[in-house]
Chain A
Amino acid sequence: MSERPPVRKSIQEINEKIRSGRAVVVTAEEMVGVVAEEGPRAAARKVDVVTTGTFGAMCSSGAFLNFGHATPKIKASRVLLNRVEAYAGIAAVDCYIGATQVREDDPLNRVHPGRFEYGGGHVIEDLVAGRPVSLGATSYGTDCYPSREHRATVRLRDLRDATLLNPRNAYQNYNCAVNRSDRTIYTYMGVLRPRLANATFSSAGELSPLLNDPYYWTLGTGTRIFLGGAQGYVVGAGTQHAPDTPRTDRGVPRGGAGTLMLTGDLKRMDARYLRGASLVGYGTSLMVGVGVPIPVLNEELAWLTGVSNRELVCPVVDYGEDYPHGTGEPLAEVTYADCMAGEIRVSGRPVSTSPLSSLPRAREIASVLAGWIRDGRFQLGEPQETLPTAPWAGSVPGS
């Protein structure tokens, strides 16, 4: 290979290039070709930042809202937004609206499968879209906060503060779901027809944020990201972050693995990238758009960001029996290349696949983020502490 020394760059150096408009930015899809054609060392020298993107239902999402005081003041103990309860067990006019909270009078799954027409995810979308939302707060009254009831119609701009804070987003990898039982099931992985009639998967594959920095070398508290159409930040590891998941030589986890806790100012976001979702038979959720820039600090990162759908694997899991009971083993391991081509093989049979996360919007996010960086409007955030990781057993070919 090349005689030239290994590439070592710092985030500060890349930010300097971004400020002077010289940074070379490609999307994670484009990076696959760059690494395949030019090799990891040349790719590391050429490319400064790889942008990723994903857009799908992320249930562990919600927003802290402060709706401000009316006269007299209230210490809200129960808060409803469009009849969806927001957690009010925090300070007087603060609350947290969670994506999966459903309406007070929702019939749930009493007639199965329930439709779950409206929930916290929809409240968040309505707020971000600028639509009016009815607020109802009740309290027991105190000497300092005597009011017992506060009703108002609010818009996002009326709220004093609105911060998206998602405890677990951008799961590094995920199951491909099938159903071996004899009845159709309605899951958070969509509608699964009986006897392996179909499979669903939910990943942007080679565009997915954590699949491009599989050991989280560049990611941690303070990493600046695209979140819901605005700049946001990584708070730290998300709930259930599990770096020790078994991996392939190229670092690809063979299951869930890493997660991110994310935050950003809801007032700056765009409803194109934050959408309420109704998952039949399951509940409500929020479709979240996330894009993470990966600085190509060295050829190892070039190699890892060059990973393609052919090398990205996921386990095929039975949601009819195994998943709900926590039993059994994956039925197969398949690649995202196969999932995206429309058919996988499970137990010797062809099974047609359907995506659940939007590939076009993931592409759009990676491309919008690349544009922000090229224009010098987005600087990389330096993580103050990187996420818990695992050792890499692989190596860069040719080094």
Chain B
Amino acid sequence: MEIAKNVLLVFRTEVMYQPVIYRLAREFDLVFNILEAKIFPRREGRLILELRGTPDRVGAGVAYLAKAGVEVTSIADNIRRDDERCVHCGACTAVCRTGALAVDRDTGEIAFVPERCAACGQCETACPMRALAGVNIERLGGVEAVR
């Protein structure tokens, strides 16, 4: 069985120019899909990747990245919806392209599947209730990017 996991990779100066990602495909047989990338000049690079493979191989790939000096953050573990603020209006579904936020056609509620989030950050601004937090490549997991 294959799984897909979205992760944020932070490359500090020390590892920034090391070839790392290609090994995920070559040595761990993982399919990777670059969802977003941002380089903050001279200091660090940030990459959001979708990793697809068997749970074992995804785990081994993530362990390899950490060992290589890349900071790995699971996106699903770091985005939050404040369910007290959310009124299930649906404005977020206009900008979410991955289906992490989608209308449940039976209840009309907005279903939230963090595992599908690509941390594009669009819902954070589109939400009229400011109920979504952490879903941004620059501010994910409370680690502010070094500019």
Q: Kindly identify which residue among A117, A340, A354 contacts B91, using a CB–CB cutoff of 8 Å.
A: A354
Closest Cβ of chain B to A371, distance in Å, is 19
Do residues A191 and B105 form an inter-chain contact, with CB atoms below 8 A? no
Q: Which residue of A lies closest to B90 (CB)?
A: A355
B95 interface residue per 8 A CB criterion: yes
B84-110 CB mask vs A (1 if < 8 Å, else 0) is: 000111110111000000010101110
A-B contact count (CB 8 A): 73
- Can you name 25 A-B residue pairings with CB atoms under 8 Å? A56-B89, A113-B125, A190-B91, A191-B95, A191-B122, A192-B94, A198-B94, A277-B128, A278-B128, A278-B129, A278-B130, A280-B125, A287-B128, A287-B129, A340-B108, A341-B105, A354-B93, A355-B89, A355-B93, A358-B87, A358-B89, A358-B90, A360-B108, A361-B88, A363-B108
Name A175-217 residues within 8 Å CB distance of B.
190-193, 198, 200
Closest Cβ of chain A to B76, distance in Å, is 23
Given contacts A190-B126, A275-B87, contact A354 B94 (CB under 8 A): yes
Contact partners of A115 in chain B: CB under 8 A: 125
Given contacts A56-B89, A117-B130, A190-B94, contact A342 B108 (CB under 8 A): no
Given contacts A115-B125, A117-B130, A278-B130, contact A356 B91 (CB under 8 A): yes
Q: Which residue of A lies closest to B89 (CB)?
A: A358
A65 interface residue per 8 A CB criterion: no
Q: Which of A56, A342, A354 has the most CB of B within 10 A?
A: A354
Q: Kindly identify which residue among B88, B105, B128 contacts A360, using a CB–CB cutoff of 8 Å.
A: B88
A15 interface residue per 8 A CB criterion: no
Q: Kindly identify which residue among B89, B95, B122, B130 contacts A356, using a CB–CB cutoff of 8 Å.
A: B89
Contact partners of A275 in chain B: CB under 8 A: 87, 129
Give A266 to B86 CA distance when docked, in angstroms. 22
Give A355 to B93 CA distance when docked, in angstroms. 8
Given contacts A191-B122, A277-B129, A278-B128, contact A340 B105 (CB under 8 A): yes
Closest Cβ of chain B to A147, distance in Å, is 37
Given contacts A278-B128, A280-B126, contact A359 B93 (CB under 8 A): no
Give A285 to B128 CA distance when docked, in angstroms. 9
Give A57 to B125 CA distance when docked, in angstroms. 16
A172 interface residue per 8 A CB criterion: no
Name B10-38 residues within 8 Å CB distance of A.
none
Contact partners of B107 in chain A: CB under 8 A: 360
A44-78 CB mask vs B (1 if < 8 Å, else 0) is: 00000000000111000000000000000000000
A357 interface residue per 8 A CB criterion: yes
Known: A193-B94, A278-B130. 17 other contacts (CB 8 A): A57-B89, A113-B125, A190-B91, A190-B94, A191-B95, A191-B122, A191-B126, A198-B94, A200-B94, A275-B129, A287-B128, A342-B103, A342-B105, A354-B94, A355-B103, A355-B108, A356-B90
Given contacts A117-B130, A198-B94, A275-B129, contact A354 B103 (CB under 8 A): yes
B107-132 CB mask vs A (1 if < 8 Å, else 0) is: 11100000000000010011011100
Contact partners of A225 in chain B: CB under 8 A: none
Q: Which of B105, B109, B125 has the most CB of A within 10 A?
A: B125
Q: Kindly identify which residue among A113, A191, A357, A361 contacts B94, using a CB–CB cutoff of 8 Å.
A: A191
Give A278 to B126 CA distance when docked, in angstroms. 9
Give A14 to B125 CA distance when docked, in angstroms. 47
Closest Cβ of chain A to B48, distance in Å, is 20
A340-379 CB mask vs B (1 if < 8 Å, else 0) is: 1110000000000011111111010000000000000000
Contact partners of B109 in chain A: CB under 8 A: 360
Give A354 to B125 CA distance when docked, in angstroms. 16
Q: Kindly identify which residue among A113, A280, A341, A354 contacts B90, using a CB–CB cutoff of 8 Å.
A: A354
Do residues B87 and A287 form an inter-chain contact, with CB atoms below 8 A? yes
Contact partners of A363 in chain B: CB under 8 A: 108
A237 interface residue per 8 A CB criterion: no
A279 interface residue per 8 A CB criterion: yes
Sorted from nearest, which 3 A-B pairs have the closest CB atoms? Answer: A359-B108, A355-B90, A277-B128
